[in-house]
Structure 1
Amino acid sequence: MRDETVYNCSIIELSQISNRAGNITPVTNFENLPFSISRVFYLYDIPGGEDRGAHAHLECHQFLIAVGGSFDVELDDGRNKKNVSLNRPNFGLHIPPGIWAAEKNFSSGAVCLVLASHKYEENDYIRDYNEFKKIK
């Protein structure tokens, strides 16, 4: 975890299959993503001005997609910071373990889809920024 930097976070373009009835974007373990998906969840109905996330993981990889609307992700590795805007449903952000991430500036009606490498385990979360800095 300690070796990861914000430069290890990457935007990945997913394939888009288009036809007259709309688009389909498939996501496949180890084909589109550098990990196997164990958990899927999504964030929605986020009130204006509210932020989400603001934590890091010890082992879990995450892949965030703005399937509707837009939002920003503030990434922090303890030394460097980087902001990424997500606003297209065929692009996602891979966040490896050891990166502090906070989702901000949600547009009205935004939906954030999260694909995670691990099932929920509270012990995998670092929710205190000062603790995160000590670990890094």
Structure 2
Amino acid sequence: MGKELMETTLRGSELLKLEEFGDERGSLIALEALKNVPFDIKRVFYIYNTNPDSPRGFHAMIDSYQVMVCVNGSVDVVLDNGTERQTFPLSSIHQGLFVDKMIWHEMHNFSEDCILMVLTNNPYTEEDNLIGYENYLEMIK
């Protein structure tokens, strides 16, 4: 699909390299469905103005994929596929973290200036969120 991986990661996730274009006028990074984002984008949202001591997430998406890009500041994203758990520090606009459906995710250590942009393949529905780690482990068995 034209995506370039930065490194091998936890099964169910990929760290994507986002290509920068620029000249003396400035720089640009484009996110394009089915090119450097491996799905058709249906929703984009930002997490910002967070409390550094208040982690977020703690759920899995049942039928949605995500790409997370830290467009400012930094955050640690913890992903868990039921057998492996890995922390991905995000602090560069040049990388996107692909999170497959049914991957547990948590966000920790938000910098005060963090802006985390998230692209998904589905509009939001409450039914798509799997809350509770024990519920998650039961569902993936």
TM-score interval (norm. to shorter): over 0.9
For 2:125, the aligned partner's letter is E
Helix, strand or coil at the partner of 2:137 = helix
Shift of 1:24: 0.6
Indicate if the aligned counterparts of 2:56 and 2:108 stay in contact, CA closer than 8 A. Answer: yes
Indicate if the aligned counterparts of 1:77 and 1:99 stay in contact, CA closer than 8 A. Answer: yes
Report the equivalent of 2:14. Answer: 10
- Residue 132 of structure 1 pairs with residue 106 of structure 2: no
Shift of 1:87: 0.6
State the Cα RMSD in Å. 1.2
* 1:64-123 superposed Cα distances (whole Å, 9 cap, x missing partner): 000000111001111110110111112110000010000111112100000001000111
Number of aligned positions between the proteins: 132
For 2:91, the aligned partner's letter is N
* 1:3-27 superposed Cα distances (whole Å, 9 cap, x missing partner): xx93230110111012223211001
TM-score by length of 1: 0.93
TM-score by length of 2: 0.90
Report the equivalent of 2:50. Answer: 46
Higher relative contact order (CA 8 A, sep 6+): 1
Percent of aligned positions with the same letter in both sequences?
30
The separation in 2 between residues aligned to 1:109 and 1:39, in whole angstroms, is 23
Structure 1 gap ranges (5+): none
Helix, strand or coil at the partner of 1:43 = strand
- Residue 35 of structure 1 pairs with residue 39 of structure 2: yes
Shift of 1:52: 1.2
Indicate if the aligned counterparts of 1:6 and 1:99 stay in contact, CA closer than 8 A. Answer: no
Question: Which of 50, 57, 61 in structure 2 is aligned with 1:57?
Answer: 61
Question: Which of 69, 82, 85 in structure 2 is aligned with 1:81?
Answer: 85
